[in-house]
């Protein structure tokens, strides 16, 4: 019987996995060493619990109180080892999930950077609120083994979603032209148009302008 609490076991495993950066380090020898340490702890706690129970039984007999106290026999070494192995595998899965999230976050950061660069090259300002709205709903597609993400294609997908967000909010302006530049007249006109349309929508919402017929 394992008498160690889940909290105690998890704390010991957290300590054991500090500094582990490669899955290969968590081999059978490593697992066995950690399991042996936990078995010793379990044995010490079991021994102390048995002592306390025996003392209680002696006192109960002296007081002539009926009742029977049973103590579970300790499980075999193999059972304890399997329990410890399962705990280590759980910790390893958590590490893998953490690594996967970090990798996805890095890809999304690259996509966002490429997307905003495309807008600026087209002479359009980046509306952070709508960009955040798009990314909050976006999830990276699953990849087959050996595949990698195409940042340019993902940036185009984000751009399409971005314009849909603007359209649903009633903000209209020209999409950036390929090869466009914010320093050119076309780019400046697009920015001015975007600002004007946004201001008009604000005026309409306050009743200062008639509603658009579109």
Q: Which carries the bigger pLDDT value, residue 21 or residue 28?
A: 28
- Each residue's pLDDT tens digit, 134-191: 999 999 988 888 888 999 999 999 999 988 888 888 877 655 544 444 434 444 455 5
The residue among 187, 209, 181 whose CA lies nearest residue 197 is: 209
pLDDT of residue 46: 72
For the chain, give the mean pLDDT. Answer: 73
Question: Within 13 Å of residue 61, how many CA atoms lie on the same side as its CB?
Answer: 7
pLDDT of residue 63: 61
pLDDT of residue 74: 52
Asked if 201 and 167 count as a contact pair (C-beta separation under 8 A), the reply is: no
pLDDT of residue 21: 62
The label of the residue with tokens 């050996």 reads 146
Rounded (5°) CA angle 173-178-181: 75
Percent of the chain at pLDDT exceeding 90: 13
Kind and range of the H or E element at 137? Answer: helix 128-137
pLDDT of residue 94: 83
Q: Which carries the bigger pLDDT value, residue 136 or residue 2?
A: 136
Taking the C-alpha atoms of residue 74 and residue 43, their distance in angstroms, rounded to an integer, is 8
Q: What's the mean pLDDT in 189-201?
A: 60
Q: Which carries the bigger pLDDT value, residue 167 or residue 49?
A: 167
Asked if 194 and 167 count as a contact pair (C-beta separation under 8 A), the reply is: no
Taking the C-alpha atoms of residue 102 and residue 41, their distance in angstroms, rounded to an integer, is 35
pLDDT of residue 75: 54
pLDDT of residue 151: 92
Question: Within 13 Å of residue 13, how many CA atoms lie on the same side as its CB?
Answer: 25
**Least trusted range by pLDDT, from 18-32, 55-69, 149-163:** 55-69
Return the domain boundaries, the chain.
Answer: 6-75, 100-205
* Chain length of the chain: 214
Q: Which carries the bigger pLDDT value, residue 33 or residue 151?
A: 151
- Each residue's pLDDT tens digit, 73-117: 555 566 777 877 788 888 788 887 888 888 888 999 999 999 999
The pTM assigned to this predicted structure is 0.44
What DSSP character marks residue 143? -
CA dihedral sign, ordered 36, 40, 46, 49: negative
Number of H helices, E strands in the chain: 6, 0
Non-local (6+) Cβ contacts of 198 within 8 A are: 171
pLDDT of residue 109: 93
Asked if 133 and 157 count as a contact pair (C-beta separation under 8 A), the reply is: no
């Amino acid at each position: 019987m394992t008498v160690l609490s889940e909290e105690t076991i998890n704390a010991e495993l957290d300590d054991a996995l500090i500094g582990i950066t490669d899955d290969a380090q968590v081999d059978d020898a490593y697992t066995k060493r950690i399991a042996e340490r936990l078995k010793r702890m379990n044995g010490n706690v079991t021994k102390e619990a048995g002592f306390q129970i025996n003392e209680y039984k002696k006192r109960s007999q002296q007081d002539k109180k009926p009742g029977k106290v049973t103590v579970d026999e300790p499980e075999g070494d193999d059972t304890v080892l399997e329990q410890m192995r399962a705990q280590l595998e759980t910790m390893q899965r958590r590490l893998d999930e953490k690594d996967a999230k970090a990798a996805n976050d890095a890809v999304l950061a690259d996509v966002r950077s490429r997307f905003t660069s495309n807008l600026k090259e087209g002479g359009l300002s980046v509306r952070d609120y709508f960009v955040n709205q798009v990314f909050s709903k976006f999830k990276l597609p699953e990849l087959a083994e050996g595949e990698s993400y195409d940042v340019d294609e993902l940036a185009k997908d984000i751009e399409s979603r971005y314009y849909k967000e603007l359209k649903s909010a009633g903000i209209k302006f020209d999409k950036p032209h390929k090869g466009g530049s914010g320093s050119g007249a076309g780019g400046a006109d697009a920015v001015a148009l975007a600002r004007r349309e946004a201001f008009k929508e604000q005026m309409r919402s306050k009743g200062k302008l008639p509603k658009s017929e579109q």
